[in-house]
């Protein structure tokens, strides 16, 4: 878990990458800058909670950007806004199933929920009415109504994934209303300062890159305009550095007690609208884009604003994250480059598993629950995991497996798949003898159709024959 410096125990320095890995990373950034025809590009990689590589390339010899150079990060801003909303949820200030109007009156949008706004399934328009908000000052749209236009709803809420920049502007306004201060101030106090991200700001602070438009058919360029986008800022206003975003990548993968816990981050990384089929390659969670590439599921976000492109991905299973920042309106593909940086490290230097060690102690009552159980005639095995958590899986490897989190009342809550959110409890008789496990009304007995297990529908009195 990400912790602030005063919370961190003494630890060894991060293990350095192998020279071949470092060269491969630099080669990928150099190729991306050259082929993408961008003035400058910087990339960085984190592994197991620490930055292990940063590298940059520039059109000017000897002036490559470093980890402290600010770039505009575009829609990566949305991950920050989503964390602010999830903090409000975890504090009990709102429910993700609440309609926006319950907390932000005066927006005549039907009844999109906060979860739908986070997941871009609210059905709202992709953009504001003209002129193009990214290249014009925000004072052209001083009121929330100015962001929506005459027909802001394009799809029924909850039906389809339809990316909406105004939707995140509304979430920023929601944060402002519930916090009683501008969303940027809330972000600074609640997120950036606890994570040590002093170089992430709403407006650029030196040293920062300038934004450029590169001509598509000639090697010439011109500067892009820079405006404060006002009420649209929650959709893509932030500036940041590779060093700061390395901290953000670690946080998005692991959580942090002072900002948002790991369980809420895992919820954000879960697809909010089911991907089509089993061979999906992209999706969206709660304020986070999802990408499946070469068997890995990555979470993060891409971003673009005039003159800038950005991407950040984390691969939780590999313990690796990567990011790319660049200062061209189009040309480079930071999403693909960042995914390549992550894969270079994960493939060339795969995470070495922690050594198996026996538990120092285990509750005998929990140990007695482990082993085979039967749902009807299907054999399952129950295993004891960290602390008091459990895992239930079919013995043949096919079927509904799930991990379960221990609750204070002696039950367990499902974390995966079919049983996510369902309650597992142990049913005992009057003297405390275990009769069976109850999982959302499913009975798991020690023997197939064990009569004493109160099998629903009863057991044939003649038994097996």
Q: Give the pLDDT of residue 117.
A: 97
In the predicted structure, residue 277 carries a pLDDT above the cut 60: no
Average pLDDT over residues 157-169: 94
Structure tokens at 362: 């285990």
What fold does the segment set 15-86+173-348 form as a domain?
A: Beta-lactamase (3.40.710)
* Residues 197, 200: Cα–Cα separation, whole Å: 6
Write out pLDDT tens, residues 293-310: 988 999 999 999 999 999
Is the model more confident about 3 or about 143?
143
How far, in Å, CA of 175 to CA of 170, rounded? 9
pLDDT 10s digits, 415-461: 888 898 999 999 999 899 999 999 999 999 999 988 887 888 888 88
- Helix, strand, coil % in the chain, rounded to nearest 5: 30, 25, 45
Domain borders along the chain are 15-86+173-348, 364-453
Count of H-run helices and E-run strands, the chain: 11, 19
Label residue 195 by pLDDT band (50, 70, 90): very high
Q: Which pLDDT score, from 0 to 100, does residue 38 have?
A: 97
pLDDT of residue 4: 43
Q: What is the mean pLDDT of residues 13-33?
A: 93
Return the residue matching tokens 């040293």: 207
Q: How far is it, in rounded angstroms, from Cα 65 to Cα 33?
A: 12
The overall average pLDDT reported for the chain is 92
As a whole number of Å, the CA-based R_g of the chain is 25
Coil/strand/helix, residue 52:
strand
Which tokens go with 335? 């999403």
Assign 12 a pLDDT band (cuts: 50, 70, 90). very low
* H/E element, 428: strand 423-428
Distance CA 79, CA 74 (A): 11
Question: pLDDT, tens digit, for every residue of 71-109?
Answer: 999 999 999 999 999 999 999 999 999 999 999 987 778
Which helix H or strand E contains 50, and what residues bound it?
Answer: strand 50-58
Residue 282 pLDDT class (50, 70, 90 cuts):
confident
Q: Is the pLDDT of residue 340 over 90?
A: yes
Q: What is the pLDDT of residue 8?
A: 41
Tokens of 108: 């005549």
The residues pairing with 44 across neighbouring beta strands, listed in sequence order, are 54, 323
State pLDDT tens for residues 215-237.
Answer: 999 999 999 999 999 999 999 99
Q: What is the DSSP letter of 26?
A: H
Is pLDDT at 24 greater than 90 in this prediction?
yes
* pTM, entire model: 0.87
Report the pLDDT value the prediction gives residue 11, as an integer from 0 to 100: 43
CATH code given to domain 364-453:
2.40.128.50
Directed axis angle between helix 334-348 and helix 19-36, to 10°? 170
């Amino acid at each position: 878990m990400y912790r602030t410096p005063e919370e961190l125990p003494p630890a060894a320095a991060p293990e350095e990458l192998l020279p071949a890995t470092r060269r491969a990373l630099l080669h990928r950034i150099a190729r991306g800058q050259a082929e993408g025809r961008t003035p400058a590009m910087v990339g960085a990689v984190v592994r197991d909670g620490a930055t292990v590589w940063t590298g940059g390339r520039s059109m000017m010899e000897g002036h490559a950007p470093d980890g402290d150079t600010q770039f505009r990060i575009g829609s990566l801003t949305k991950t920050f806004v989503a964390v602010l909303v999830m903090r409000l949820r975890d504090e009990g200030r709102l429910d993700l199933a609440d309609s926006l109007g319950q907390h932000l009156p005066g927006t005549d949008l039907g009844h999109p929920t906060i979860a739908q706004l986070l997941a871009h399934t609210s059905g709202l328009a992709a953009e504001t009415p003209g002129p193009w908000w990214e290249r014009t000052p925000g004072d052209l749209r001083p009121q929330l109504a100015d962001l929506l236009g005459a027909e802001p709803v394009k799809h029924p809420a909850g039906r389809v994934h339809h990316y909406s920049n105004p939707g995140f502007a509304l979430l920023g306004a929601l944060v402002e209303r519930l916090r009683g201060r501008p969303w940027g101030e809330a972000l600074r106090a609640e997120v950036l300062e606890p994570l040590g991200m002093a170089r992430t700001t709403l407006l650029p602070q030196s040293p920062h890159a300038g934004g450029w438009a590169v001509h598509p058919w000639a090697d010439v360029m011109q500067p892009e305009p820079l405006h404060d986008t006002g009420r649209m800022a929650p959709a893509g206003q932030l500036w940041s550095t590779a060093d700061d975003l390395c901290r953000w990548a670690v946080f998005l993968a692991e959580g942090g007690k002072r900002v948002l816990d790991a369980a809420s981050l895992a919820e954000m990384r879960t697809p909010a609208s089911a991907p089509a089929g089993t061979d999906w390659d992209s999706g969206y969670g709660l304020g986070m884009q999802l990408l499946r590439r070469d068997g890995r599921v990555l979470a993060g976000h891409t971003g673009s604003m005039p003159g800038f492109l950005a991407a950040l991905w984390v691969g939780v299973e590999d313990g690796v994250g990567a990011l790319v920042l660049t200062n061209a309106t189009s040309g480079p593909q930071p999403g693909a480059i960042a995914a390549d940086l992550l894969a270079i490290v994960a493939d060339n230097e795969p995470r070495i598993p922690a050594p198996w060690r026996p538990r120092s102690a285990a509750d005998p009552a929990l140990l007695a629950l482990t082993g085979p159980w039967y749902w009807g005639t299907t054999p399952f095995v129950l295993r004891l995991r960290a602390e008091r958590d459990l895992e239930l899986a079919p013995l043949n490897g096919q079927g509904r497996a799930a991990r379960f989190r221990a609750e204070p009342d002696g039950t367990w809550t499902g974390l995966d798949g079919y049983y996510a959110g369902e309650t597992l409890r142990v049913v005992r008789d009057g003297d405390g003898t275990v009769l069976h496990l109850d999982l959302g009304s499913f009975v798991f007995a020690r023997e197939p159709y064990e009569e004493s297990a109160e099998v629903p529908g009863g057991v044939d009195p003649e038994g097996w024959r």
